[in-house]
Structure 1
Amino acid sequence: MAKYLVEASYLSKGINGLMKEGGTRRREAVDELFASLGGRVEAFYFVLGDRDVIVIGELPDNTSAAALALKVNASGVTTCKTTVLLTPQEIDNAVMKSGTYRPPGFDEPYEVENWEGEGGHLAED
């Protein structure tokens, strides 16, 4: 199953609901939402800052993640941002995939060897 980071922010009605229900009941509701879409919550935290809640969870696929975001955002009391989480092995697999790309202003596609270090800038010949 794919892993996702869901960052949620409460609007004023959501904050009022949280104050009425408490944090434990919100966690239970999020667990139920993930389960109803065939997934599970791995971690759930209330946070200070731009977001109010972060959730790391598993869902069967991107369609399920989109359904989760649509349900939450349609409620009108909470907004969420969903990020796909990739394992180190998935990145290793991505590095091994070949693809052809010609950057703007270049006459020919570049090769991976033309990248200059960590910055990811195309090295000049």
Structure 2
Amino acid sequence: MPKYLIQASYTAEGTKGLLREGGTGRRRAVDEAVASLGGTVEAMYFAFGEDDTVIIVDFPDAISMAAVSMMVTASGSLRTRATPLLTVEEIDEATSRQATFRPPSA
């Protein structure tokens, strides 16, 4: 299953919700949202600084990741970034593939 790193920052409204239900409540909500699209949460951490939470999830496909991303963004409670994560073996496979490419300067 494709794996993604999600980095999120709460808006003021989202922070109020976090204060009301705590970290455990938010983890439960994340688990439910991800599971509803066939995914699983590998890890979830709260942080401070630019990101308020960092989550690693597995989804069946990129469309599922896009669906949850749009749902979360539409709520207005969070600003998120999702980064696809690749295994060492996937990078090995990528390095063995040849692509035809002509740079703009050529």
TM bin, normalised by shorter chain, reads over 0.9
Matched residue, 1:99: 99
Relative to total residues, which structure has the larger helix share, 1 or 2?
2
Give ranges in structure 2 of 5+ residues lacking alignment: none
Using structure 1 for the length normalisation, give the TM-score.
0.83
Q: What are the superposed Cα offsets for residues 74-116 of structure 1, whole Å, 9 maximum, x if unpaired?
A: 001112111100001110000011111111222xxxxxxxxxx
Give ranges in structure 1 of 5+ residues lacking alignment: 107-125
What amino acid is the match of 1:75? S
What amino acid is the match of 2:3? K
Q: 1:34 and 2:34 equivalent?
A: yes
Matched residue, 2:69: 69
Q: 1:52 and 2:52 equivalent?
A: yes
SS in structure 1 at match of 2:98: coil
Aligned pair count reads 106
Structure (1 or 2) with the larger CA radius of gyration: 1
Runs of 4+ in 1 over 6 A off after TM superposition: none
Write the distance in 2 (CA, Å) between the matches of 1:6 and 1:20: 23
